Amino acid sequence: MILDNLHHAFPKKSDQEIRKIATQFYKNFADTLVETLKSLTISKKEIMRRVVLDVEELRKIQKEGFSIFLMAPHIFNWEWYSLRYSIYLKLPPYGIYQKLNSKLSDWLMYAIRSRFGGIPIERGEVLRHAIRGAGKPNIYATLADLRPQDSDNKYWMKFMNRDAAFFTGTEKLARKLNYAIVYLQFTRIKRGYYKSKVIKIEVPPFETKPYEITEKFVRLVEKDIKKDPASYLWSHKRWKHIRPK
């Protein structure tokens, strides 16, 4: 599946180039598993040393008083970025997640993501939670490149040279509740060290067309994948759904 995904994403690359990316992906993936387990014990000081933030754009939006959706991709190591932003943000960020079938895995992810003040919240509870918190600043973070579930409303577009469905709930909620939307750019500096930059996608009042926000997010993800292909989660069944004719 990984080689197949890479061949579709980079049709002009040779087999040798694709296999080189795949090999580096496996190394990055192994590092991420170790780092994720380390998240249970890593100190605030150490995570701050290993993950550097550029939050100038985020500060500007917060000064304007907007609540915010942080849209992030599955670029390694997103768990450490989650911890780092939990330390930085004065408001506890609500991390939107899909409950896992394994109780042990679900407990582990909840324990990691809540260590430094983040509050995991199940995806199905976000609308109710956001409406209850209307009128006061909130911050929600979501890994927005996940494959939507069969029951979700989907928006189809080209993603890395293939048709892919995207969940539209984040954009719809932002429009409905007047939340700003930003993109969290992730970059691996070297093994065990990262940096992240906040890029503004859109702030109210929204003048974009429907789904234009989702498209902007996807194009930013593509740009970052092309810079460092081996840091993206190619093992995810991202292109499982087939676009209806």
* Tens-binned pLDDT, residue by residue, of the chain (245 aa): 999 999 999 999 999 999 999 999 999 999 999 999 999 999 999 999 999 999 999 999 999 999 999 999 999 999 999 999 999 998 889 999 988 889 998 999 999 999 999 999 998 899 888 888 777 889 999 999 988 877 678 899 999 999 999 999 999 999 999 999 999 999 999 999 999 999 999 999 999 999 999 999 999 999 999 999 999 999 988 888 888 87
**Residues facing residue 142 across a β-bridge:** 71, 96
3-state SS class at 192: coil
Q: Name which of 46, 138, 124, 56 is nearest 83 in CA terms.
A: 46
What are the contacts of 107-116 at 24+ separation with CB within 8 A? 108/40, 111/40, 112/36, 112/39, 112/40, 112/79, 112/83, 113/79, 113/82, 113/83, 113/86, 115/39, 115/40, 115/83, 115/86, 116/44, 116/47, 116/83, 116/86, 116/87
Cβ-based burial of 152 (10 A; exposed 0-12, middle 13-18, buried ≥19): middle
Query: What is the pLDDT, as a whole number, of residue 151?
Result: 65
If residue 213 lies in a helix (H) or strand (E), which one and from where to where? helix 212-227
Structural domains in the chain, sorted by start: 2-231 (3.40.1130)
- H helix count then E strand count, the chain: 9, 9
Three-class secondary structure assignment of 48-71: HHHEEEECHHHHHHHHCCCCEEEE
Spatial neighbors of 188 by CB under 8 A, at least 6 apart, are: 28, 76, 77, 194, 228, 231
**Residues facing residue 197 across a β-bridge:** 54, 185
Secondary structure letter of residue 179 according to DSSP: -
pTM, entire model: 0.94
